[in-house]
Amino acid sequence: MSKNKRKDYTPAQNIALTCQVSGVCPLCTEPLFHTKKGKSYKAYEIAHIYPLNPSPEEIELLKDEEKLSDDVNDEKNVIPLCESCHGKLDKFRTVEEYRLLVKLKKGLLERSYQELLWKQFGIESELISIIESLYELDITEIDNSVDIGYDPKTINDKTNQSISRPTVRKIRNNVTDYYSFIKSQIAILDKSNAEFSNLVSLQIKSFYTKQKQQKISQQAVFDNIVKWIQMKTKPQSKDGAEIITSFFIQNCEVFE
């Protein structure tokens, strides 16, 4: 059987791959570059997740395992590792080591995909003013007498076992504390821009639908929407994005 030839990845591919792991070895967190006399030097190697040329033992060991690509040199099947971790892996990889690398790489690919979505999906800039107002708000002064049709069971009915109980509790508390205020702020913006509420509703719904198509957990959907809103609106902390996401869960744009 002819052997696969190791691919020489371009400088651009090397940059993309090392950026994907944030410049550290995903197994031991050692930096992939070291500095000497003011200059940076490479301290990593591009490792194949499924072996480039597996031994008969490795072929048997991994025969029923998931492959990230049919092409072993595909960027989906490689990951930068520090020289030490790569050396240990090349001696002989166990099923557990292989599964860990597959899981790590799938997470990295998902994050890259989400970053692409953040660029593709816009959000109304006026939403920034609502989020900023949350940080100046004394929730003890919020008028919660407005009927929002809120029942704790509503959130429970919209969520399933794939989202953590602490996250469900956080969503419920955010809705209880902030829903009326956000609703009133949206109504104010609608007076100057009659389509604001419709536009932002459609934008949130569209991004949620894109997440739903991936058939990922509700926890991942919630986290991804929070990160998207956070990237687009730059709030003082993640809390602001979580509160807005919770609002749209109650409002049925997310988790119908």
Domain that holds residue 245: 121-250
**Confidence label for 149 from pLDDT (cuts 50, 70 and 90):** low
Mean pLDDT, rounded, for 141-162: 70
Q: In the prediction, which pLDDT does 146 show?
A: 54
Domain boundary among 91, 117, 143: 117
How confident is the model over 122-137, as pLDDT tens digits?
A: 999 999 999 999 998 8
Domain count, the chain: 2
Q: Is residue 37 part of a domain?
A: yes
Q: In the prediction, which pLDDT does 92 show?
A: 72
d(CA 127, CA 124): 6
Calculate ∠ Cα 140-156-200, nearest 5°.
65
Please give the full DSSP string across 117-160, using - where no structure is assigned: HHHH----TTHHHHHHHHTT--GGG--TTS-----HHHHHHH--
Q: Which two tokens stand for residue 72?
A: 């072993």
Backbone phi and psi for residue 34, each to the nearest 5 degrees, phi listed first: -125, 155
Claim to verify: residue 85 and residue 191 sit in the same structural domain: no
Q: Is residue 136 part of a domain?
A: yes
Please give the full DSSP string across 186-243, using - where no structure is assigned: HHHHHHHSTTHHHHHHHHHHHHHHHHHHTT--HHHHHHHHHHHHHHHH--SSHHHHHH
Claim to verify: residue 162 and residue 86 sit in the same structural domain: no
Mean pLDDT, rounded, for 188-215: 93
pTM: 0.82
Mean pLDDT, rounded, for 89-97: 84
